[in-house]
Amino acid sequence: MKKLLLVFILIMMITSVWAKGGGAGGTFFGYQMSSYPFLDESVEILNNSFGLSYFGGFGYGAGSDGVIHGGFGMAIKDPVYESGITGGFGGVINGVQLITTLVHLNVMSYTGFGGVYTGNNAANKDTWFFVILEEVDLELGIPLFSWFMPVVYIGYQIAGNILPGDMLSSFISYTPVMGVRLAWGSF
């Protein structure tokens, strides 16, 4: 497993040398929360967080005007397996680069579709749902090299069923999120 990870990192480093303009690809890990840890508890944020974790991969290009377009794929799961919720999404990334000097500050939108198994949290007889996802994030990255940048992000994620059942009612999740991205590219 360590050799496979090393090969993956080397491939990402080598391909990033030929990257022209702005752009990145990599992996991410995030977590749903009921509030942001840096806010006072008296600041209530609308949520019904299931406390799920999610991970995946992404890739995007950034034009000279700072507009970002790309794609992502991710899996979600209950990290402690209490609810049994699991699923996955794929979709598009759109965003804008606000700052690209010593630090990178981006506003990103992740829009996708996927499937969710609700496990023990089934509100009705349906346990599988075709779901739409929207996540808006504020990302802060520090390029350690011209080809590698760790990124932390905060955002808000909404996911709701399309089928079966009444749209956005049989399964709905709306929650603050935080996470980390490891980006290889041209910075």
How does pLDDT run across 105-128, given as a tens digit for each residue?
Answer: 999 999 999 999 987 655 556 689
Q: How far apart are CA 1 and CA 178, in angstroms?
A: 27
Mean pLDDT of the chain: 87
User: For position 12, what pLDDT does the model report?
Assistant: 57
Of residues 59 and 20, more confidently modeled: 59
26-186: CATH architecture: Beta Barrel (2.40)
Q: Give the C-alpha distances (Å, rounded to integers) separating 50 from 22, 34, 56, 71, 121.
A: 35, 8, 19, 25, 10
Phi/psi of residue 8, each to 5°? -60, -45
- Exposure string of 48-65, with b = 16+ CB inside 10 Å and e = fewer, is ebbebbbebebbbbbeee
- pLDDT tier, 18 (very low <50, low <70, confident <90, very high otherwise): very low
Q: What share of the chain in percent tops pLDDT 90?
A: 60
User: For position 169, what pLDDT does the model report?
Assistant: 87
User: For position 124, what pLDDT does the model report?
Assistant: 56
Q: Quick one: CA dihedral 41, 44, 50, 56, positive or negative?
A: negative
User: For position 17, what pLDDT does the model report?
Assistant: 43
Asked if pLDDT for residue 186 goes beyond 50, the answer is yes
Asked if pLDDT for residue 7 goes beyond 90, the answer is no
How does pLDDT run across 157-174, given as a tens digit for each residue?
Answer: 999 999 988 898 888 999
Domain range annotation of the chain: 26-186
User: For position 10, what pLDDT does the model report?
Assistant: 59
Q: How far apart are CA 9 and CA 15, in angstroms?
A: 10
